[in-house]
Every structure is written in structure tokens, then in C-alpha cells.
Structure 1
Amino acid sequence: MASAAEQLAANMNIASFQKATELHKRIWFTIIALVVFRLGTYVPIPGINPEAFASAFAGQSKGILGMFNMFSGGAVERMAIFSLNVMPYISASIIVQLMGSVYPPWEKLKKEGGEAGRKTLNQYTRYLAVVLAVVQSFSIAVGLQSQEGLVVSGVAPAFFVASTVVALTGGTLFLMWLGEQITSRGVGNGVSLIIFAGIVAALPRGVANMFEMVRVGSMQGFSLFVIFALAVVVVAAIVFIERSQRRLLIHYPKRQQGNRMVGGESSFIPLKINTAGVIPPIFASSLLLLPTTAMQFLATAQLPNWASWLPTAVGALQHGQPTFMVIYAALIIFFSFFYTSVVFNPDETAENLRKYGGFMPGIRPGKRTAEYLDYVLTRLTVIGAAYITAVCIIPEVLMGAMGATQFALGGTSILIVVTVTMDTVAQIQSHLLAHQYEGLIKKSKLRGGRGR
């Protein structure tokens, strides 16, 4: 007769075979979907002059276009159909989340709608993403049309604007659909993986540029070593902080339900140190790069005398400048507290605990619980804001002191890459664990049936 250990090993082998087959299909689907995304970043919109646009982009890559180009994997510098990437969808998601906290009908859907309410808000997000994509693509089309030489001669202006709007909006909608397919049929969050793929695709070229700078003598080899060593330390710090939690103990009292007693369990509320995620640096970068981008579209010679100070002020907002770093840090801290207050409502959490009979030891349910949650969350957000600020400011200091490539190893890109990688690995582990238990349960039922 087989021992218990041998039976468990046999069950594990069967479960491993089953889960491996399913997981392999999901991984291959994700890889193929990301390959399709990368191919789309090389398909230019109709009517654009690639050489002229590449030359024009080189002079404006330090503005907000450079950041969008990083997220899109180089699609912006080629003006490809995926130039907008999923940024309209992300902006729409943030707007819907904000409106869900301040607009009563949407707040009711969020709190009381359940699964149906969540689906309705997701549908609103898609509609708003389409609107934002149309507005942004129309602005891009008009801007390209106004620049001489960027559009192929002979193309009618109305046709170019219409085709650009259709191409860019269609590209965004396709990426939204592709992200949903990755989430449901692949591994990881589809939208996050698309942004992750864009950043990772641009990373080797940035690293190669730094090696080229060392070769030509514009940067020292020791400086390159310091940059890579610091990148390793930053990655380790991100992993440690993102996995850290403050667990608040929750008790549920026993209660009579029919002829038996239920409840009496203990649970906890996990509060992350960085509740806001990567939203604060993205918002802060976008706001700071807007003046630089606007100034690059204006001719300095055409400025009136009273606005002669504008070029100097905008120059102080360049990467590596002290003014840029101070304002950048202040905006990151502000958005860390602002977005945390949006995604986590202490009053709502305390009310839900009170409804289900949960309480924290030594703290009254209701208002006192909400005040305690707010107190703990505020302290955690201070640590999280300081952590995000340090991760994003240290590369800026290096860019100013050592002349590093602007977005090669930026704090925002490292933060996104590491957090998405951690989330994807966690989902793979959860998938393996779920199929392992499923295989064990099926095998135990089969053995039980033969035993009878």
C-alpha cells in the first residue's frame, strides 16, 4: 500500500501537469499579444513624412512628448498608430475614480451597485476613453498639419485630419481590447503589461546610449558603474516597500445563526505603504513637462518684451535643474496624499466594518474607527510619499550631475517595471496554487470513490 507521502507526490505530479498546460497557454497568449503591440508601434499613420517628423521630434523629446514616447515604446517618435498608447484609458480611469468619490450618482453605483455597478462604471470609462482619444488625436492632427513638411505633399488637409483621428483612436481602442484579452486569457493586468512592454522595449537603447557616451568620453566609466549600482539598490528598495504592509487586526464576534454559532474569527485590513502606486510621478511629470512642450512650439523671437522672462523660467524646469527637482518632489508628495484619499475612504471602510459586526480591539466602531484608520493611513502615506520622491529624484540628480540619458533609467520607468513584474509574478503564483489545489481535490475524490 502506498504511503501518504507517495500519494501526495502522485497528486502533485498530476496537478503539475494540468496546471503547466493551462499556464503555458496563458503565457504564450500574453507573449503573442505583446508582440502584436510591438509590431503596431512601427506602423505610421497615413500621410505622415517619417523623416521630417523624426527630425522635428528630436528637438522636442525633452518635453511631454519624450515621456509619452517612453510609455509607448518609441511609437511617438515614429508617429505610429499606437502613439496614444493606453494613456486616454488611464486618464479616463482616473477621472471616473475621482468622479466616483464626488459625484453622487456614480458614488451610489460604486458603493451599492455591486458587480452591475462596477460594470456600468467600466463602461463609462471606455466611453470617456474614446472621447479623450478623439480629442487628443484631433489636436495631434491639427498640430502636424500646421507644421510645414511633416505631412506628405498632395494630401488634402481634411483627409489627413480625418485619417489621423481614425488611426490614432482606433489604435487606442485596439490596445484597450488587447489589454482586456490579456487580463482574461493571459497572465497579469493587460493595460499595465502594455505600458511595461513599451518601457522595456526602450530601455536597451537607453543603456546603449550611455555606453556610447562612455566610449566617446562624454561620461566617465565610474559614473556608469554608479548609475547601475544605484539602479540595483533602487529596485531592491522598491520590492521591499511595495511588499510591505501595515495589518490592522479585526475581530468578528460570535452570533447565533439558526441552531449554530457563527463568527468569532479574526482578520486584518492590509494597508500598503504606497497606496497611490505610480500615479503621483506620472501626474507630476506631465504637469512639469507641459510648459517645456508649449515653449518648444513657440518661436522665442515672436515673444513680446513683457514675456522675455519665459524662456529662462521654462529652462529652469528642465531635467536636472534644481527648480525642476524641488517642484517635482512637491508635486509627487501632493499627488501621493491626494490620490490616496481618493482610492481609500476611511469613513466607508469603518461603516462596512460596523455593518458586518467587525471591530478593532480597543477602538469603538464607527467614527472612532474611521479616525484611527485615517491616522494610520496618513502616517503610512508620509513614508510612501518620501519613498516615491526618493526613487524619482535620485535619478534626476544623476542626470544633472553625470549627464545620463534622460529616460534610460528614470525613477518612474523603474517603478512601473518593478511593480508590474511583481504583480505578474504574484498572479502566476496564484494561478499555480489554485490549479494545484484543484488537482489535489480531484485526485482525492477519485481515490475516495475507489476506496468505497
Structure 2
Amino acid sequence: MRLELARRIAITIGALLIFRLGSHIPLAGLSVRADLNSTNILARLSVLSLSLIPYITAAIIIQLISVVWGRVGALERSGEAGRRKISRATLILTLLLATFQSFGVASGIQSIPGLVTEPGGWFLLSATATLTGGVFFLVWLSEQITRHGIGNGIALILFVGVVVTLPAEVAGTLELVRRGGISANVALLAGGISSAMVIVVILVERARRNVAVEYAARQAGSRLLPPRSSVLPIKLNSAGFLIPSTVTPWVFYLPLALATFIFGQTPWLAVAFDHMQFGRPAHMIVGAIAVFVLAFVYTACVLDPERAANTLREQGGAIADVAPGEPTAAYLDRVVTLTTVIGAVYLAAISVIPEALVAYGELPYFFGGGSALIVVCTILDLETQVRGYSLTKPGGEYL
């Protein structure tokens, strides 16, 4: 193993260990004498409880805004100065979302009898500041992993958050089987469905629609580059794994939370919250629609057929039987639309099917679609980065 690669892996492991350590640091002001009904809640209330969800949501919202607001999109493509402004706007939106969510969490746990030592304004302020600060600490830590480690820092932190819960969830399922809560056949069926889901995710995430491109001979400085053939790969799922696992829950609960803040606890809001609980038909229907629509919008942000057509023309490339310029952009737009339909249906299915099986099939819930996407996509990205790094450093030192 190369020394540089080993150094990066060591930095990544160290940063992830820091993340896990922080996940066990409890919020200040919680009572260690909380009753048994509050034990599970107490165990989850660490300074890093919000994880990176507010930051990821803010980043995706900014990207979606850049699709519908050309000025923001142009700013993103204007160079380093424009990207810094986009980054600053993302952090500001992260602060707003994290503060809003932190205040909601602090208010909720303060209302649980015996969980907070001294309820009141000071606890609300300190808990909100602590949870919000935890989000920004993880943003910084993920950037260090991306710059100095191996892999994408955000994806790896989400990946670890999923993986560390799997042993306990599997053990809980086995305990249910031992006590007779569910049959062994049901547990095996759940494991088989989870395995099949992982296989489907791997196949789809590796799938590409390759568009054949022919490059004419052209002059590059003093060299004459000969004609060559290539492909333009288009992923079936260009929206990635973040939309179903991070953004969609905000579609459910942010409007309801805002309505509660404005109107208070009203009967119709209580009914709406009840219908939006996990496993309810409204939750699954709205979730599937949200994932499908957001997948299209996000793909439009990351794949621009017109820009790809202009890049091909500048590099002397052309698609067979398609004229350069506007016809090429129209052709690529049709291809991207068709592949996005497949990708959006896949994301919606991978999000809703496990929930439906848990709600109506009496299966134990221990590996959802969003978790499968995070785990598989992170592993595939790590494999690509390690292989690419090794191939680009053929003369490096070895351990």
C-alpha cells in the first residue's frame, strides 16, 4: 500500500473516530436520573444529534434554486469567487435550518417530564447553540476528510451513522425471533429483501447509458490529434442518494412545523401529523411524489444538455447522425429525460417499498432504502477513489 494512500486512510479513520466519540457526548442539562421511558431518548441526545442533515438540505436547496434562478446558476459557473459566494449562502441557510431544528428538538425534550434538570430559557438557548454548533463541527470535519483523507467526507459520516446501528438492529430482530415476536421465516424474508435491495442498488448505481461520440482530427499546439471514438456516459441515477435520505423528510415536516409555530396546536394539524407518520399511506404517497419530482429537478441541476453539446462542439466531438449544436442538445435532453425517469422511479421505489413492507408486511425494520443507498454509494465511491489514486501514482513509495 502506498505511503500517501495509507496516510489518507489513517486521517479518514481518525476523523470518523472523532465523529463517533462526539456522538456519545450528551447534551448539557439532561438528567442522569431520567425514567426508563426516557432512556432511549437520552441515549440519542448527543451534541451531534442533528448530524449533517441541515447542511446537506441547505446545499441541495441552493442547487435547486440555481436551476430555476439563472442568476444563481451563473454565479455558480463564474469561477472561484462565485463558488465562494454559493458556499457562504449555503452556510447561512444551514445556520437557519439548524437553529430552527435545534430549537424544535430542545423544546420537545424540555417538555418530557424528568428529562431536563432545569427547564427554561437558559436550557433552550444552550441546547439550541450546542446542537447548531455540532452541525458546523461536522461540516468542518467532513471537509477535512474530503481534502486530506480518502472519499467524500459527508458521505462517509452518513455511512458510519448507518453502519453502527446495523448490529443492534439485527440483534433486536434476533431477539424478537427468540421471544416469539416474529417467526424465523419472517426474519429470513426481511434479510433476503434487504440483500436483494442492496444488489439492485449496486446494479443501478453502476448502470450507464453510453452515448457514442466521434471526435474529428484536430490540432492541439504542435500535435495533430487523430480521429477517435469515445462515449458520453449518463448515469441512470444522476440524483445520487441524498434526496430520498435527507431532503424528503423536510418536505413532510417543515411545513407542518411552520404551521404549528404560526397557528399553535390545532386539531387539523394533529390530524396532519398523524397521517404523516412513518408507514401511513399519506406518508408513502407524498414521499414517492417528492422523491420523483426532486430527482428530476436535481438532475436538471447537475446535467445540462446544452452545456454538454457546446463542450462537444468545442472539442470537435459529434454524435453519429446528429448535427452539432441545437440538435445535439435536443438529443441529449431526450436521453437524459428517459434515463431520469428510470432513475426517479428507482429512487421512489427504493424509498417506499421497504416502508410498505414494514407497515403492511409485518417485517422488522432494520435496513431502509435510504440506508442502502448511502452504504452502497459510499462504498462504490471509495472503491473508485482508491483505484484512481493508485493508478495515478505508479511510481510512489510502498510500505
TM-score of Structure 1 vs Structure 2, range by shorter chain: 0.7 to 0.9
Please, which of 374, 379, 398 is the counterpart of residue 421 of structure 1?
379
In 1, Cα distance between equivalents of 2:336 and 2:239: 11
Please, which of 123, 132, 135 is the counterpart of residue 100 of structure 2?
135
Please, which of 361, 380, 398 is the counterpart of residue 320 of structure 2?
361
Please, which of 218, 221, 244 is the counterpart of residue 281 of structure 1?
244
2:376 counterpart of 1:412: no
What is the one-letter code of the residue matched to 1:129?
T
- Report if the CA contact (8 A) 1:292-1:318 is conserved: no
Q: How does 1:43-54 map to 2 (within 5 A)?
A: 43-49=25-31, 52=34
In 2, Cα distance between equivalents of 1:97 and 1:295: 26
When residues 401 and 81 of structure 1 are mapped into structure 2, their CA distance, relative to the original with a 3 A threshold, is same
Question: Secondary structure of 1:269's partner?
Answer: strand
- Report if the CA contact (8 A) 1:98-1:342 is conserved: yes
In 2, Cα distance between equivalents of 1:173 and 1:147: 27
Please, which of 17, 40, 44 is the counterpart of residue 78 of structure 1?
44
Please, which of 116, 124, 130 is the counterpart of residue 151 of structure 1?
116
What is the one-letter code of the residue matched to 1:248?
V
- Report if the CA contact (8 A) 2:218-2:316 is conserved: no
Please, which of 121, 131, 142 is the counterpart of residue 179 of structure 1?
142
In 1, Cα distance between equivalents of 2:95 and 2:259: 28
- Matched with 1:390 is 349
Question: Secondary structure of 1:112's partner?
Answer: coil
Aligned length: 395
When residues 168 and 280 of structure 1 are mapped into structure 2, their CA distance, relative to the original with a 3 A threshold, is closer
Please, which of 40, 50, 53 is the counterpart of residue 87 of structure 1?
53
- Report if the CA contact (8 A) 1:280-1:331 is conserved: no
- Please report how far the alpha carbon of residue 259 of structure 1 lies from its aligned counterpart in structure 2 after TM superposition: 5.6
Question: Secondary structure of 1:172's partner?
Answer: helix
Question: Secondary structure of 1:84's partner?
Answer: coil
Question: Secondary structure of 2:234's partner?
Answer: strand
When residues 316 and 92 of structure 1 are mapped into structure 2, their CA distance, relative to the original with a 3 A threshold, is closer
Q: How does 1:99-114 map to 2 (within 5 A)?
A: 99-113=65-79
- Please report how far the alpha carbon of residue 30 of structure 1 lies from its aligned counterpart in structure 2 after TM superposition: 1.4
When residues 361 and 116 of structure 1 are mapped into structure 2, their CA distance, relative to the original with a 3 A threshold, is farther
- Report if the CA contact (8 A) 2:212-2:229 is conserved: yes
- Report if the CA contact (8 A) 1:54-1:78 is conserved: no
Q: How does 1:37-436 map to 2 (within 5 A)?
A: 37-49=19-31, 52=34, 55=37, 78-113=44-79, 115-145=80-110, 148-153=113-118, 157-256=120-219, 260-262=223-225, 264-282=227-245, 283-288=247-252, 307=268, 311=271, 314-406=273-365, 408-435=366-393
What is the one-letter code of the residue matched to 1:386?
V
In 1, Cα distance between equivalents of 2:102 and 2:87: 22
- Please report how far the alpha carbon of residue 193 of structure 1 lies from its aligned counterpart in structure 2 after TM superposition: 0.5
- Report if the CA contact (8 A) 1:26-1:187 is conserved: yes
* Deviations, residues 206-242 of structure 1 (Å, cap 9, x unaligned): 1111112111212110011111112111111111110
When residues 125 and 324 of structure 1 are mapped into structure 2, their CA distance, relative to the original with a 3 A threshold, is closer
- Report if the CA contact (8 A) 2:106-2:124 is conserved: yes
When residues 145 and 221 of structure 1 are mapped into structure 2, their CA distance, relative to the original with a 3 A threshold, is closer
When residues 291 and 210 of structure 1 are mapped into structure 2, their CA distance, relative to the original with a 3 A threshold, is farther
Which deviates the most, 314-323 or 378-387?
314-323
What TM-score results when the alignment is normalised by the length of structure 2?
0.87
- Matched with 2:10 is 28
- Report if the CA contact (8 A) 2:187-2:364 is conserved: no
* Deviations, residues 327-355 of structure 1 (Å, cap 9, x unaligned): 33333222222221222122222233333
What is the one-letter code of the residue matched to 1:229?
G
Question: Secondary structure of 2:25's partner?
Answer: coil
- Report if the CA contact (8 A) 2:77-2:83 is conserved: no
* Deviations, residues 80-110 of structure 1 (Å, cap 9, x unaligned): 1101111121012112212333334432232
* Deviations, residues 410-449 of structure 1 (Å, cap 9, x unaligned): 11111111111111122122222222x2349xxxxxxxxx
When residues 279 and 403 of structure 1 are mapped into structure 2, their CA distance, relative to the original with a 3 A threshold, is same
In our comparison, the structure showing a higher alpha carbon Rg is 1
- Please report how far the alpha carbon of residue 191 of structure 1 lies from its aligned counterpart in structure 2 after TM superposition: 0.9
